[in-house]
Structure 1
Amino acid sequence: MTESEPGSATARTVILTVDDDPGVSRAVARDLRRRYGGEHRIVRAETPAAALDALRELKLRGDLVAVILADYRMPDMNGIEFLEQAMDVYPSARRVLLTAYADTGAAIDAINVVDLDHYLLKPWDPPEEKLYPVVDDLLTAWLAADHKPVPETKVVGHRWSARCSEVREFLARNQVPYRWYPSDEPEGARLLAAAGADAMRLPLVVTPDGTALVEPDDQELASRVGLATSPAADFYDLVVIGGGPAGLGAAVYGASEGLRTVLVERTATGGQAGQSSRIENYLGFPDGVSGAQLTDRARRQAAKFGAELLTAREVTGLEVHGSGRTVRFADGTGVSAHTVLLATGVSYRRLDAAGLTELTGRGVYYGSALTEAPSCQGEDVYIVGGANSAGQAAVYLARGAKSVTLLVRGESLAASMSHYLIQQIENIPNISVRPFTEVVEAHGEDHLELLTLRDTRTGERETVAAHWLFVFIGAAPLTSWLEGVVDRDAAGFVLAGPDLAPGGQLPPGWPLERAPYHLETSVPGVFVAGDARAESAKRVASAVGEGAMAVMLVHRYLERL
């Protein structure tokens, strides 16, 4: 059974509580109604099934749910399982688990499983001290967020179009809700006709306000779906270039410490880590966290502290003018600051094999397993690479694929993949590893159809049927635009601190009397953090740490200006 406050207006937001103990259920509803009944509807349920039914009814009526409180110990479905299903109906509702002292371990685990906002120990008397402050904070946070239903962007395209794949990837990684319509299916054809668009010019993107965009580039797409693309000011304390873990970490710490901070990202925040289906060795997440979840939290955290985040802006140059540093964009515009942090990360190296370039985005993908995974259901999938990113993709794709084959040039995965991930792969029956194997050619007309594989020991070749190939090899730094400005090593990674001049000497051409700070490049006031730095650890945790350290060094630099 469910109940709400008598005479309550449907326009008011809802606080829902579920507990299988009738006495506790009534007590929770009573305490909530006493404090919040004037502005919110209080809905009570005594079973998870009844609560889910109530949530679905509210959803159909268009009502908003702000907070959900669920008891942990309930028959048929515990509180964590209930909150997982409730998230599918109202993902923005704040979630609270009611627990006994003996269940605090489960409550802590739920922080990772269902992104739990808080857990309350029963009893919570007096509510003025233990219940109301918690709910007050959750309601404030909920009201501050954009919790209104978000109209979907529509994308019409061809399954095997490289640009259509890129657009879907761009929207997904930037957390823009969209729905995909194949151009050769009835609804896709109807949208094309309504927009007066040509089926030969795809993709067609229809924004929530009804604007039709034909073959938009990333910057046009970003601006039309509500992403910021232009800086609000001309001058900042810190410009962060790159939105991976290092850049996001710097944006959070820079903005939270009062620096006027703007982050510039060419595609989507998160970097390579943001594309990971599951990161299980990041501190504080024992059950793992997806790259998208971690990125979304970091992005919201940076924005909360006042950092600006610009998307779809490609940086092409860095200029030094006295104490100012100017970052140039591809369109010739720029933004200036006292300091700059290079957090450009790395990209997956392109696989040098015949036919791959022509089929990229049409069955051959570089690091886009999350977006393409639904299309791989029941298919045979091949992955090139032996490091963690390849292993995480294999585990994720194996959930729906018929088979997943890891192609590794070396003897085994042990040389480059974490032990925990190797163990997972060994225990998944539809994942196999082929050592001493490389791809030498890809075949297909409008999409990938066949792969030619070669045994690196014997030279023997084999051709296999394949519609899906995901490549996760090597790390190429995105630093070519710094040529002639900032010192780099032979591979293109940025040199900083002691690596600029081993032995404690001042680097050649260094204009200051002091030595460069640890993350400072050959240009004073320009710092580097994360994977783009020479000799970096290439781990998410170290990248975040370097981003935070860079902000500390930025403060030190600014104090001496």
Structure 2
Amino acid sequence: MGKPVLLSVDDDPGVSRAVARDLRRRYGEEFRVLRAASADEGLSALRELKLRGDPVAVLLADYRMPEMNGIEFLEQAMDLFPHARRALLTAYADTDAAIAAINVVDVDSYLLKPWDPPEEKLYPVVDAMIEAWRASADGGFEGVKLVGHRWSAPSFQARDFLARNAVPYRWYSVDEPEGQRILAAAGAGPDDVPVVVTSDAQVLRHPSEAELAAVAGLGVEPQADFYDLVVVGGGPAGLGAAVYGASEGLRTVLVERQATGGQAGQSSRIENYLGFPDGVSGGQLADRARRQAVRFGAELLLARDVVGLEEHGPKRVLHLDDGRRIGAHAVVLATGVSYRSLGVAGVDDLTGRGVFYGSAMTEAAECADRDVFIVGGANSAGQAAVFFSRYARSVCLLVRGASLEASMSSYLIEQVAGIPSISVRTCTTVAAAHGDGHLEAITVEDARSGERSTLPASHLFVFIGGAPRTAWLDGAVLRDERGFIPTGPALLRDGCRPPGWTLDRDPYFLEASLPGVFVAGDVRSESVKRVASAVGEGAMAVTLVHRYLESR
């Protein structure tokens, strides 16, 4: 964000230079003084400043200009910068028009030309306008501005992507005046949302996550064609592998299709992770791990999906979704799992419009004084219930099982029980979601009685099961019937090594059926679904990578 701007608009070059000279003499250290030779040029400058997020403090416009006079200019300028203070530059003959403008279009003052000496006739007026502007709290914003619709799934996805990747941004609704002003300055309309405006005034309409990542300064292109180690997935296991791989001298790149942290990164509070007696949010934990990996020299490649894996002799080659290929001596697969779809009527159409998978903490403020429903009975659902209880009027956990004890940690069960606004309905499933453009109600079914009831609802957060995203590995490594990847001893059947295994030794503990490919975290068959164990497996995988490289 640059200095606040003082803008003068006058079609007389001599007057224009004189105004700018006198303003710079008094205010040049604290303000940026700009001048325009016409109303159109002035409006173009203001649109650029709006897109860049630079504040405008004072507007001075000549009353008599061709095509658009000063009053008309100031009216249009108010649409872009309503807090900027405004004054007309006018000759003595136009004093009556200037006074009328003060009463009609909220002009603050007028300045008679010539204003010599400026210490008496210019600066006191500008000083008063600057003081009034400072009191109006028009601060500007340095960062990404995102304009969208409250119930637009693409708008939610853009917000969620930026938030989970720790990119500073400010959200503006198309229904708010400031959002409308930004759209106007960008030459966009409500049908173009989400619209993203970067700090250097780039405008993106309907951006993809890769485009968002690029303009936000996140890495989207690999810096090399070949690495010692490629880590696929940026959850706790992948971040653990990246930290240990890079810190131990391996040229390491981590490829993540969305945001580092994985499902754990969406947890509002993790209280049983070693070393954090007061708990830590998943986002904070992911951010620390991400910064730690980068400090050791790991490369992060975000908003890129891996769609294929091939064996080329000693090389392992990964295919990215943009057509690029990167090779490596070894690979760690840490792709985690995704929440399963509810798969009931109405849910798909309302996803991102009141139905959310994961905690979607960007929605917290919107849950104020509303009734929120959470589907699931494991720790992630319990953490979300505790988190949203700080905002919502009520939170109801819908649990398919007969109790929470089988799937939720006891400390979390005690927390849930101690919050009056949280209720738990066991043996309950969601049968349908209803709404016109956004979620308005859900139908739930009691598994014991078969009875159904429809409840008003604005937000439904889903935390059920975990489906591995491993279809892209078909034919490359063995997977079990659920899509998880068996490793090490689990690959041995009756003392026999897996089909296609070419080495004399047995697979290492975390090694998949393709030598040099290791698996860590939730995507591994029969893994322990805990953050600490995922981090440990990521570190262990790097140890086994070293052993693999030394034995070749």
TM-score by length of 1: 0.73
Name the counterpart of 1:175: 166
Corresponding residue of 1:538? 529
Conserved 8 A contact 1:237-1:338: yes
Please tell me whether the aligned partners of residues 155 and 205 of structure 1 are also in contact (alpha carbons under 8 angstroms): yes
Letter in 2 for 1:249: G
User: 1:186 is matched with which residue: 174, 177, 195?
Assistant: 177
2:48 paired residue number: none
Secondary structure in 2 matching 1:339 = strand
Query: For residue 458 of structure 1, what is the aligned residue in structure 2?
Result: 449
Q: How many Å separate the matches in 1 of 2:192 and 2:141?
A: 27
Residue 337 of structure 1 pairs with residue 331 of structure 2: no
Q: Is 1:490 aligned with 2:490? A: no
Matches within 5 A, 1:168-317: 168-317=159-308
- Alpha-carbon shift at residue 242 of structure 1 (Å): 0.2
**Residue type at the aligned position of 2:469:** L
Q: Deviations over 1:72-106 (max 9, x none)?
A: xxxxxxxxxxxxxxxxxxxxxxxxxxxxxxxxxxx
Q: In structure 1, what is the equivalent of residue 349 of structure 2? A: 358
**Equivalent residue of 1:538, what SS?**
coil
Once residues 150 and 514 of structure 1 are traced to their aligned partners in structure 2, the CA distance between those partners, rounded to angstroms, is 59
Q: Distance in 2 between matches of 1:234 and 1:377?
A: 48
| Cα displacement (A) at 1:505 | 3.0
Correspondent of 2:372 among 356, 377, 381: 381
Kept after mapping to 2: 8 A contact 1:369/1:397:
no
Whole-angstrom CA distance in 2 between matches of 1:556 and 1:449: 56
- Structure 2, unaligned stretches of length 5 or more? 1-139
State the match for 1:518 in structure 2.
509
Q: How many residues align?
A: 413
Is the 1:369–1:393 contact (alpha carbons within 8 Å) kept by the matching residues of 2?
no
- Give the match's secondary structure for 1:531: coil
Matching residue's letter, 2:385 = A
Say if 1:487 and 1:494, in contact at 8 Å, map to a contact too. Answer: yes
Superposed displacement of residue 228, structure 1: 0.4
Distance in 2, matches of 1:504 and 1:172, equals 49
Residue of structure 1 aligned with 2:389, choices 398, 423, 432: 398
| Map of 1:3 onto structure 2 | none
Distance apart, 1:199 and its partner CA: 1.0
How far off is 1:504 after superposition? 4.0
1-side partners of 2:293 and 2:391: how far apart? 35
Question: Are positions 1:320 and 2:296 aligned together?
Answer: no
- The one-letter amino acid paired with 1:552 is T
Distance 1:236 1:150 in 2: 39
> What RMSD, in angstroms, separates the aligned Cα atoms of the two structures?
1.1
Structure 2 match to 1:499: 490
Q: Which amino acid aligns with 1:250?
A: A
Q: Partner of 1:137 in structure 2?
A: none
Unmatched segments (≥5 aa) in structure 1: 1-148
Match of 2:419 among 418, 422, 428: 428
Runs of 4+ displaced beyond 4 Å: none
In 1, distance between residues paired with 2:391 and 2:463? 20
* Aligned positions of 1:60-209 closer than 5 A: 151-209=142-200
| Higher Cα radius of gyration | 2
Q: Is 2:336–2:468's contact at 8 Å kept on the other side of the alignment? A: yes
1:349 corresponds to 2:337: no
TM-score of the pair, normalised by structure 2? 0.74
Pair 1:367 & 2:358 matched? yes
Does the residue aligned with 2:545 lie in a helix, a strand or coil? helix
Matching of residues 460-479 of structure 1 within 5 Å: 460-479=451-470
SS of match in other structure, 2:522: helix
Give the conservation status (yes or no) of the 8 Å contact 1:394–1:431. Answer: yes
Letter matched to residue 345 of structure 1: G
Structure 2 counterpart SS, 1:243: coil
